[in-house]
């Protein structure tokens, strides 16, 4: 996992929406969670979100990601090494928690359940959390349609295309899981000529080449439908809903999952 994220860190400046949140996503977190006067805990070190809240603690397991991506500690924000599933925070102590795409990078049902439980543990009774999703549609896209759309200029960014390709590759996979090597294999099958893709879309080859960080990686992603994630979250939160995050490319598959009223475990 560390090697995978180190490779992504090296290509960070070549990434764009929907992988990196545009301004309208940042505004959605702020509006939906009322963050202005709150101390915010963030899962990961997404730099675009580092200015949210009155203060912030970002938690990431990778020293290299903190060193290479985090915009730096200040009087009101800091990044710490930590495990999302065992957050180094007291119970019922957090005003607000955010995470961008984090449910897609941790694995399947059991792991998502563990993360929801970890979030519920640290939130205050009136605390709230927001996680932007990368959610596959209920009906899978036909790879031929995705290819035609991209070559016709109908896909906003290469990273928009990368998620569309990933979602076509899931097929009937249990729990909507796919090894990232499978995303690369599907992409190479759909777009064997990268020069053609670059010429037809205007995307530079180094940007297209960011998908090669998936080669030989052991990491598994998941792209679970929004409705499934809502039902999973309701085991741990009394108030679960989704909010639109804007109009950028693929935004309709990247809603904000808003979690309130955490259920505390029986002792």
Query: Does 267 fall in a domain?
Result: no
Query: How much is the pLDDT for 137?
Result: 93
Task: Specify whether the CB–CB gap between 194 and 205 falls below 8 A.
Answer: yes
The pLDDT tens digits along the chain (267 residues) read 557 766 777 778 888 999 999 999 999 999 999 999 999 999 999 999 999 999 999 999 988 889 999 999 999 999 999 999 999 999 999 999 999 999 999 989 999 999 999 999 999 999 999 999 999 998 889 999 999 999 999 999 999 999 999 999 886 667 899 999 999 999 999 999 999 999 999 999 999 999 999 998 999 999 999 999 999 999 999 999 999 999 999 999 999 999 999 987 655
Give the β-pairing of 237-243 and 220-222: unpaired
Find all residues with CB under 8 Å of 12, minimum gap 6, and list them: 68, 69
Residues 103, 10, single domain; the answer is yes
Residues 238, 158, single domain; the answer is no
Residues 230, 210, single domain; the answer is no
Residue numbers of the domain that contains 49: 2-135+224-262
Residues 169, 210, single domain; the answer is yes
Residue 99's CATH number: 3.40.50.150
Residues 244, 210, single domain; the answer is no
Residues 91, 113, single domain; the answer is yes
Query: Does 205 fall in a domain?
Result: yes
Residues 12, 100, single domain; the answer is yes
The number of distinct structural domains making up the chain is 2
Coil, helix or strand at residue 241: strand
**Cα distance between residue 5 and residue 203, in whole Å:** 23
Residues 106, 147, single domain; the answer is no
Closest among 86, 100, 96 to 41, alpha carbons compared:
96
Query: How much is the pLDDT for 175?
Result: 87
Say which DSSP state 151 is in.
H
Query: Does 98 fall in a domain?
Result: yes
Query: Does 254 fall in a domain?
Result: yes
Query: Does 23 fall in a domain?
Result: yes
Furthest C-alpha separation in the chain:
61
Coil, helix or strand at residue 113: helix
Residues 127, 150, single domain; the answer is no
Residues 117, 231, single domain; the answer is yes
Residues 90, 36, single domain; the answer is yes
51: exposed, middle or buried (Cβ count in 10 Å: 0-12, 13-18, 19+)? middle
Residues 67, 149, single domain; the answer is no
Query: How much is the pLDDT for 64?
Result: 87
């Amino acid at each position: 996992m560390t090697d995978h994220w180190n490779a992504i860190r090296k290509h960070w400046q070549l990434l764009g929406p929907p992988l990196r949140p545009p301004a309208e996503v940042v505004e959605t977190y702020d509006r939906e969670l009322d963050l202005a006067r709150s101390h915010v805990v963030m899962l990961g070190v997404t730099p675009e979100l580092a200015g949210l809240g009155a203060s912030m603690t970002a938690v990431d397991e990778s020293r290299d990601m903190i060193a290479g991506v985090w915009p730096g500690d200040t009087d009101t924000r800091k990044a710490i090494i930590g495990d999302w599933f065992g957050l180094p925070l007291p119970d019922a102590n957090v005003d607000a928690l955010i995470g961008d795409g984090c449910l897609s990078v941790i694995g399947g049902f059991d792991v998502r359940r563990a993360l929801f439980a970890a979030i519920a543990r640290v939130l205050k009774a009136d605390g709230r959390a927001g996680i932007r999703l990368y959610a596959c549609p209920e009906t899978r896209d036909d790879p031929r349609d995705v290819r035609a759309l991209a070559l016709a200029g109908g896909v906003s960014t290469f990273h928009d295309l990368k998620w569309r390709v990933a979602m076509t590759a899931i097929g009937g996979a249990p729990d909507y899981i796919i090894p990232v090597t499978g995303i690369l294999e599907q992409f190479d099958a759909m777009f064997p000529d990268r020069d053609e893709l670059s010429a037809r879309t205007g995307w530079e080859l180094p940007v297209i080449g960011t998908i090669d960080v998936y080669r030989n990686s052991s990491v598994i992603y998941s792209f679970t439908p929004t409705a499934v994630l809502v039902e999973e979250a309701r085991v741990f939160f009394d108030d679960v809903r989704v909010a639109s995050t804007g109009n950028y490319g693929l935004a309709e598959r990247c809603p904000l999952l808003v979690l309130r009223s955490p259920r505390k475990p029986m002792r």
